[in-house]
Amino acid sequence: MTQRAKNPVLIVGSMAFDDLTLPSGVFPNVVGGAATYAAMAASLFAEPRVVAIIGTDFPDDVLRDLNARGIDTSGIERADGKTFRWAGRYSDNLASRETLSTELNVFADFRPKLPDSYVDSGCVLLGNIQPELQLEVLDQVANPRIVAADTMNFWIAGERPALTRVIKRVEALVINDEELRQLAEEHNIKRAAQAVLAMGPQHLVVKRGEYGAMLFDSEGIFFVPAFPLEDERDPTGAGDTFAGALMGVLAQAPRIDGAHLRRALMTAATVASFCVEGVGTARLAELSPSDVQQRLDELRNLVYLEN
Amino acid sequence: MTQRAKNPVLIVGSMAFDDLTLPSGVFPNVVGGAATYAAMAASLFAEPRVVAIIGTDFPDDVLRDLNARGIDTSGIERADGKTFRWAGRYSDNLASRETLSTELNVFADFRPKLPDSYVDSGCVLLGNIQPELQLEVLDQVANPRIVAADTMNFWIAGERPALTRVIKRVEALVINDEELRQLAEEHNIKRAAQAVLAMGPQHLVVKRGEYGAMLFDSEGIFFVPAFPLEDERDPTGAGDTFAGALMGVLAQAPRIDGAHLRRALMTAATVASFCVEGVGTARLAELSPSDVQQRLDELRNLVYLEN
């Protein structure tokens, strides 16, 4: 990509092979990882730029496919060794999952290095990686409009000081409800949200899986339902898809304010619902803008009340 | 009450003493029961008529207080023996509870008998009692505009044929998500809802606790969030409060259609949220119409998106 991106979204995170045991069957070697899902989702609205690490086993044609979707892959480092691999098994109703194995491989030595062409990214999504690495990325970008960070229970428990520094420096935190409770050490969602907002970010987005998502900010609380699906196949990456779509929509927004965030949240929930309908990124890959618009209208009707 | 009720709501269900072990303390002898919560909630909007059974130990002044709220208690039978008693203990975060003991007492021999003055009730709420008794109540009312029924896991497992007859005869079923899944023998909420609607009712209301409620009908799906509370004290009766408020609002409605049901659902979620803020019916008892209206506006803003 030599053309200058109009609405760039910098996405840092994992790229992986997933071995998925789903109610519908066993699917080995599914291309996944938080950065992959987020970039695919963001590419529906903006020009993602990915910073990640892959091994020598990662297929070139997957990178070419990402390029063809307008995703800048020049920040993806190919290292000697194998790509990160995760194996997981979902319960019959998809309500829970267990990790069967995690092989960090080249991801263990990931040190995100931004190409010069990424430095001006207006929107930045710090995927769920070690907080120290999230800080290193923040040190490499110049004056972004909005930085959003994800994290996980492992870093909340083991890297709280560094994570606290990340949270202080980002505009938005995008985490799930269990992570929120763990981070705030408070079960009540509203009190937990207040505690996390007091740590620094202007916006807190809480993902609640099949129950939707909530936004907490100075304008109050906003609630978006999950789109009710008849055929759920694979929840893997739905949260990363949500975050990627959110940042993609915000990259297009004339300004980052409560109204645009609320709108972006509805779209993010819509795109995330498609993710669950296919194995890996299969459903995301075939999505058209009109698919998204149609379901977004349906999602709005779920809460719409005539005056 | 000699004056003819304008918007009567017939409510059949339990009246009870609850012994509650809550994070905030132990509260013995709390007046509860599904009919009590539902009638208190419905009385904010309409004139409830209660059919229930109490023992000789039930205080007259509680009945007088209900009367003072416009609740018709002439269908409450006082029988020799003790009132139904339930003891339960909630977890520290109120997310789960266990039943410590259940003493049916006079409730074991409850056979609902409607006073003649109740027969013309336009709205009927069949609380969670034995399905055979719900059918007996249905046989005693003349042409109601809407009948809604609640039920529980115990009847779904043990009385499915009778429960199926109830469901075939009611316009609305108001149950929680676990009951829906059990009734439909299907985990997916949307497919489960379709299966239950195929059993007869026009409207299915699914209560999801802290995640809100959903309505399924021929017009589609409607979603209402739970009002996020900072101070949750006692979830006992919140579902019954929800159902009672729903029927109270519908009793005022010029007609029972999708739009009015959706509006009623928002109000029901609002009133239910107040219930959780006090022990037993304490918070419901002090509610004013303006309290409800103000929080209803806040609840609408949770999902409101400017065009």
DSSP letters for A283-298: HHHT--HHHHHHHHHH
Our CA-based measurement puts residue B246 at a distance from the nearest CA of chain A, in whole angstroms, of 16
- In the prediction, which pLDDT does A164 show? 98
Residues of B with CB under 8 A from a CB of A: 92-93, 95, 187-191, 208, 210-212, 214, 220-225, 228-230, 232, 259, 262-263, 266, 300-303, 305-306
Q: Give me the residues of chain B with pLDDT under 70, please.
A: 1-4, 306-307
Say if the Cβ atoms of B305 and A262 lie within 8 Å: yes
Query: With an 8 Å Cβ cutoff, are B223 and A220 in contact?
Result: no
Residue A103 above 50 pLDDT?
yes
Residues of B in contact with A92 (CB under 8 A): 187
CB-based contact B221 A228, cutoff 8 Å:
yes
Single out the residue of A108, A115, A51, A48 nearest to residue A83, CA to CA. Answer: A108
> What is the per-residue pLDDT for B24?
96
B306:A230 CB<8 A: no
Nearest-CB residue to B187 (from A93, A188, A208): A93
What's the pLDDT at B94?
A: 94
In whole numbers, what is the pLDDT of chain A averaged over residues? 96
pLDDT of residue A1: 44
pLDDT of residue B307: 54
Identify which of B165, B264, B130 has the alpha carbon closest to the alpha carbon of residue B205: B264
Residues B208-216: contacts with CB under 8 Å, at least 24 apart:
B208/A211, B208/B176, B208/B177, B209/B176, B209/B235, B209/B238, B210/A189, B211/A208, B211/A211, B211/A212, B212/A211, B212/A225, B212/B269, B213/B242, B213/B265, B213/B268, B213/B269, B214/A228, B214/B189, B215/B261, B215/B262, B215/B265
What is the value of ipTM here, to two decimals? 0.90
Mean pLDDT of A208-231: 96
Q: Best interface-test mutation with A: which of B178, B211, B295 has the largest number of A CBs within 10 A? A: B211
Reduce the DSSP state of residue B160 to 3 states and report it: helix
Which residues on chain B are in Cβ contact (under 8 Å) with A206? none
Q: Which residues pair with B205 in a beta bridge?
A: B174, B215
Tell if the CB–CB gap between A211 and B211 is shorter than 8 Å. yes
Tens digits of residue pLDDT in A250-265: 999 999 999 999 999 9
Mean pLDDT for A174-184 is: 97
Q: Directed axis angle between helix A131-138 and helix A160-169, to 10°?
A: 30
Chain A residues at the B interface, defined by Cβ less than 8 Å, are 92-93, 95, 187-191, 208, 210-212, 214, 220-225, 228-230, 232, 259, 262-263, 266, 300-303, 305-306
Residues of A in Cβ contact (< 8 Å) with B261: none
Cα A18 versus chain centre, distance: 16
Whether residues A191 and B230 touch (CB distance < 8 A) is answered with yes
pLDDT at position A304 is 83
Of B210, B302, B305, the CB nearest to A221: B302
Which residues of chain B neighbour A222 with C-beta distances below 8 Å? 302-303
CB contact under 8 A, B228 and A189: yes
Which helix (H) or strand (E) element contains residue A20?
strand A16-22
Alpha-helical segments (H) within chain A? 34-42, 60-68, 131-138, 153-158, 160-169, 177-184, 189-197, 238-252, 258-276, 282-285, 289-303
Read off the pLDDT of residues A2-49 as tens digits, 9 standing for 90 and up. Answer: 456 789 999 999 999 999 999 999 999 999 999 999 999 999 999 999
Residue type, A201: P
Residues 6+ apart with CB under 8 A from B279: B20, B22, B24, B27, B30, B233, B234
